[in-house]
Structure 1
Amino acid sequence: MSEIILGTNQYGKAENRIVRIYRDTPRHEIHDVNVSTCLRGDFSAAYLAGDQSEVLPTDTQKQTAYAYAKEKGLTSIEDYGLALARHFVHDVAPVQGARIEIDEYAWQRAVVDGAEHDHTWIRTGQEVRTAAITVDAEGEWVVGGLKDMTILKSTGSEFADFLTDPYTILEPTHDRVMATSLTAQWRYASTDLDWEATYEGVKTQLVKQFAVVQSLALQQTLFEMGKAVLETYPTIAEVRLAAPNKHHFVYDLSPFGVENHREVFNADDRPYGFIQATVTRDDAPPPGPAWDSYQGWLV
């Protein structure tokens, strides 16, 4: 008869909403983040016997996240996440590994009388910046990224010569709208670099390839995105991309005697094709626990 045992486990404080405002000058700066902390180690006594003696409370993790926003600063989310993870691993004896996952929300300065205002912002609807930091006795890993970046081009996309069977009714096309809500994550091969400049540069490459590639398939576009990022940044080891195909279908206006020359579309949000790809270097260093997530761990 088999024995029932405790498997892999971890615990932490999810989704701490932290806003850090810098007031050092009359022109204030804002950083708005959602921080999840996760601790790893031998916490079996807590699960098997309810023994909390080795458990750092999740409330303590929350308090640390807020305190570090002031004590260590919150400018680059990667540096902030590294500081938190290093603290939990190096300063809390039972903790063998820490995972910090961060979303950063963008704010744009309000324009008043033609000039940017010093302390008023408008929440922008652009992508959410992400970072995932893992620290343990074996090393440190940083994964940068973005999600919810909605992007569309009105031409320059095709889908034809595909496999068909008796259930295929889709017509091939050599001119279609291509749109997606992109999620991209990239694993750094170093923790010593300019996080801000690299993030902006990666985003620039992703948008550029989406725009300029004459796409025969969304799969091809994703590969070209990842390839461009790796060619531009030697400090990045691999890129992972996920893209739902947000379909736009030409709407039939013929019942009204109106010709529609690919100008009016129905944006159909579901069902959708979901395309994923990893683009990597053949000599990339091992990922270790870089992709072992906290939120969504059971998915």
Structure 2
Amino acid sequence: MSIVLGPNRYGKAETRVVRVDRDGARHRIKDCNVGVSLSGDLHRTHLSGDNRDVLPTDTQKNTVYAFAAKYGIASAEEFALLLARHFTGATPAIRHARVVVEEYAWDRIPGASGHSFARSGGEVRDATVHCDRDGAAHVVSGIGGLVVMNTTDSEFHGFAGDEYTTLAPTRDRILATEVRARWRHTAVPDRAGWDDSYRKVRSGLLDAFAQTYSFSLQQTLYAMGSRVLADNPEICEVRLTLPNRHHFAVDLSPFRLDNDNRVFHAADRPYGLIEGSVLRDDAPDAGPAWE
């Protein structure tokens, strides 16, 4: 029996960088968390401790800060592409770079000066870029922490049952979830309207959730993914993770009160977890895009 080195990568995780653009009286904030992972011909460092092929993770951190200063942060996608393309040429041994950028939104405080902001809720934008030395790149954009609710127009019945089934069918329920969505772009243009694309996808997800009369969260997932693909020809696949944030009507009969579907207990666990991918039938091969 022989022992060999398998797939491996290394990098710098969670480099927090904040860029403030001070052009004029109205400042602009980009607040990001950057993760870098590099892979390639790195057998020497693993097998013998020879580090000649290793670009230190501290250098990777410094590069994030230097690029934020030199080029700014136009969007999560563009910044990730800049870094990934740089790192694939950093040393001869590096063949592939994976860069993940999470972007945290700040809103201007109404009526305040142009330099006063409040951090937006729990919603987080992100981008994952894979880049090879030959220049091939894959871009996946995403959003997480987007909490949504429909207080009606949702049913759940006709499901399978066995001796352990206690759930009662319902013709009117609250449907709530925390959307985690990621979408794959078919190509990486030289100049891309990443912000416009992100806003359009987010709007499509919300519209589909609000406009779908739901018989299951699975049905809603497909409607949301389909809307994104229908409205955005440059996107070929959408992956959605939708935890079911259950809301159970409280039994008020011990207090001799009626509960006409008005008072609920919001349960945090356990919860149903619905996951799925919606894609075009001619979508190109994803390669490493989702890793």
Alignment of 1:1-299 (within 5 A): 2-111=1-110, 115-137=111-133, 139-192=136-189, 193-292=192-291
Contact 1:46 1:52 in 2 (8 A): yes
Residue segments in structure 1 that go unaligned for 5+ positions in a row: 293-299
- The residue type paired with residue 20 of structure 1 is R
Q: Normalization by structure 2: what TM-score?
A: 0.97
| Greater strand proportion | 1
Whole-angstrom distance in 1 between the partners of 2:112 and 2:283: 43
Worse-superposed segment, 123-132 or 14-23:
123-132
Contact 1:106 1:126 in 2 (8 A): no
- The residue type paired with residue 89 of structure 2 is H
Partner SS state of residue 54, structure 1: coil
Which deviations, in whole Å up to 9, do the C-alpha atoms of 1:190-221 show, x marking residues without a partner? 21231100100000010011111001100010
Contact 1:218 1:275 in 2 (8 A): yes
Whole-angstrom distance in 1 between the partners of 2:200 and 2:15: 28
In structure 2, the residue matched to 1:297 is none
- Structure 1 residue 137: deviation in Å? 3.4
- Structure 1 residue 126: deviation in Å? 4.1
- Structure 1 residue 94: deviation in Å? 1.6
Partner SS state of residue 158, structure 2: coil
- Fraction of identical pairs, as percent: 47
- The residue type paired with residue 18 of structure 2 is V
Q: How many residues get paired?
A: 288
Whole-angstrom distance in 2 between the partners of 1:96 and 1:260: 62
In structure 2, the residue matched to 1:296 is none
List structure 1 segments (4+ residues) > 6 angstroms apart after TM superposition.
none
Which deviations, in whole Å up to 9, do the C-alpha atoms of 1:35-77 show, x marking residues without a partner? 0011110111111111111000000000001110111210211
- Structure 1 residue 124: deviation in Å? 1.3
Partner SS state of residue 144, structure 1: strand
Whole-angstrom distance in 2 between the partners of 1:248 and 1:228: 26
Whole-angstrom distance in 2 between the partners of 1:257 and 1:246: 28
- Structure 1 residue 92: deviation in Å? 2.7
Contact 1:13 1:36 in 2 (8 A): yes
Partner SS state of residue 39, structure 2: strand
- The residue type paired with residue 203 of structure 1 is R
Residue segments in structure 2 that go unaligned for 5+ positions in a row: none
Partner SS state of residue 286, structure 2: coil
Whole-angstrom distance in 1 between the partners of 2:122 and 2:59: 32
